[in-house]
Amino acid sequence: MIRLLIVESQPAVRKGLQMRLAAEADLSVVGEAADGQTAVDMTAALHPDVVLVDVEMPSSDATANALCLICQQAPVIILSMHDDALTRARAKEVGAAAFVAKSMPAEMLLATIREVAC
């Protein structure tokens, strides 16, 4: 079972991700966070196998710092509405294991989760 933490500031998007991921037999959402600091705290407490993080959360500098801490504890997959070189470079800069654009099919996110969890 791959244990996931979802970090997304928009409740509706968090819920949608949680519902989609819960449909997979090998995935379990163990927590949800709306900001970077909560994500750091939850990562330390829950020890997820993979953390999914929306890169466009408020307070992007604080979020980037939080991401660096999270990346030391669990692989991070950056999710973004923007699929451009700058956003991909930003994900790489903070140490993310992978980047998935929100516009990509759900199968791409699922495959990426399984890949980075191994």
Q: What is the 3-state secondary structure (H, E, C) of 49-93?
A: CEEEEECCCCCHHHHHHHHHHHHHHCCEEEEECCCCHHHHHHHHH
Whether the per-residue pLDDT at 105 is higher than 80: the answer is: yes
| Residue ranges covered by each domain of the chain | 2-117
Averaged pLDDT for residues 57-79: 75
Going 96 to 102 to 103 to 108, the CA torsion angle's sign is positive
Could you tell me if 23 and 69 are in contact, meaning their C-beta atoms sit under 8 angstroms apart? no
Tokens of 67: 């991401």
Percent of the chain residues past pLDDT 70, beyond the cut: 92
21 pLDDT band (50/70/90 cuts)?
very high
So what's the pLDDT on residue 63? 66
Q: Which of the following CATH numbers is that of domain 2-117: 2.30.30.40, 3.40.1390.10, 3.40.50.2300, 1.10.132.20?
A: 3.40.50.2300
Q: Enter the pTM of the model.
A: 0.91
Distance CA 86, CA 113 (A): 22
Please state the φ and ψ torsions of residue 80, each to the nearest 5 degrees.
Answer: -155, 150
Query: By the 8 A CB rule, do 21 and 29 touch?
Result: yes
